[in-house]
């Protein structure tokens, strides 16, 4: 039984149309371009999850205001 998350593009017995193959190649190229544009890590920033995600506006008892 195959897993739903199986990302094997070369499924045996399934032939992709030229348009589908081109779309997959373009998507792979976009993913590579986006990976190259990732921002560098913040210097001196706080570690862990951003507290604002959880509605918490303080860090170590200090109120954080943007």
Rounded-to-integer distance, Cα 60 and Cα 54, Å: 15
Residue 55 has pLDDT above 70, yes or no: no
Q: Which residue has the higher pLDDT, 55 or 21?
A: 21
Q: Determine, yes or no, domain membership for 46.
A: yes
Q: Determine, yes or no, domain membership for 3.
A: no
Rounded-to-integer distance, Cα 61 and Cα 37, Å: 35
Q: Determine, yes or no, domain membership for 29.
A: yes
Tens-place pLDDT, residues 27-51: 999 998 887 777 777 777 666 666 6
Model pLDDT, residue 11: 56
Percentage of the chain with pLDDT > 70? Answer: 48
Q: Determine, yes or no, domain membership for 13.
A: no
Q: Determine, yes or no, domain membership for 11.
A: no
Q: Determine, yes or no, domain membership for 58.
A: yes
Q: Concatenated DSSP letters for 6-63?
A: ---S--TT----HHHHHHHHHHHHHHHHHHHTPPPPPTTPPPSS-GGGGT--EETTEE
* Threshold 0.75, pTM exceeds: no
Rounded-to-integer distance, Cα 30 and Cα 12, Å: 26
Residue 40 belongs to what domain range? 18-63
């Amino acid at each position: 039984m195959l897993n739903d998350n199986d990302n094997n593009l070369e499924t045996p017995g399934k032939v992709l149309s030229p348009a589908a193959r081109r779309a997959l190649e373009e998507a792979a190229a976009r993913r590579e371009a986006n990976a190259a544009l990732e921002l560098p890590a913040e210097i001196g920033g706080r570690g862990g999850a951003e507290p604002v995600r959880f509605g918490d506006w303080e860090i170590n008892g200090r109120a954080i205001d943007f």
